[in-house]
């Protein structure tokens, strides 16, 4: 049994509890720009897909390459917003996006479940004088996921009040 079972179970639970609700959202709700970063629900979900993908790659590289790892931080200097625009999540087919979000997270769980415990203290250079261990990165992922799901909840609830 993985030492990361609680994290894996929490991610799976979030996916299972949110998939149907996300797919069921009306088009006007998912495409309406509202949050403080001017992101729609589609763009927030797209960001979560990108984040999951980047974290999968970091986890693999942190076990495969010398530590500390030099790996681009896609979230710095507005890069994550450029990723959202370049991939045009705003015009992506919603059901496909939700499925990609779901299966990306399920694959991340698989990857987390197979982490070599001897590599947990390997570090990624996240920024100048800011290193993050593989252990801390995995632990923090759930917080990040919940943050963006909360943003979606806020947008859905704001829409419902109109």
**C-alpha closest to that of 86 among 49, 55, 33:** 49
Our separate counts of H helices and E strands in the chain read 6, 2
pLDDT tens, residue order, the chain (162 aa): 467 999 999 999 999 999 999 999 999 999 976 788 889 999 999 999 999 999 999 999 999 999 999 888 877 767 888 899 999 999 999 999 999 999 999 999 999 999 999 999 999 998 888 899 999 999 999 999 999 999 999 999 884 554
- Structural domain spans, the chain: 5-161
From 3.40.50.10860, 1.50.10.20, 1.10.1040.10, 1.20.120.450, which CATH number describes the 5-161 domain? 1.20.120.450
Dist CA 155 CA 146 (whole Å): 14
Beta strand ranges found along the chain (DSSP E)? 123-127, 130-133
CB 138 within 8 A of CB 33: no
Dist CA 119 CA 134 (whole Å): 7
């Amino acid at each position: 049994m993985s030492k990361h079972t609680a994290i894996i179970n929490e991610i799976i639970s979030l996916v299972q509890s949110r998939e149907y609700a996300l797919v069921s959202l009306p088009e006007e709700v998912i495409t309406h720009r509202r949050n403080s970063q001017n992101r729609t629900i589609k763009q927030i979900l797209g960001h979560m897909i990108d984040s999951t993908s980047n974290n999968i790659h970091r986890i693999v590289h942190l076990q495969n390459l010398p530590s500390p790892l030099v790996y681009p931080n896609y979230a710095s200097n507005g890069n994550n917003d450029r990723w959202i625009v370049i991939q045009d999540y705003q015009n992506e087919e919603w059901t496909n996006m939700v499925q990609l979000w779901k299966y990306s997270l399920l694959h991340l769980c698989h990857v987390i479940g197979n982490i070599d415990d001897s590599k947990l203290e390997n570090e990624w250079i996240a920024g100048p004088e800011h290193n993050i261990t593989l252990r801390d990165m995995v632990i923090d992922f759930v917080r990040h996921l919940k943050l963006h799901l909360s943003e979606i909840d806020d947008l859905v609830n704001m829409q419902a009040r109109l």
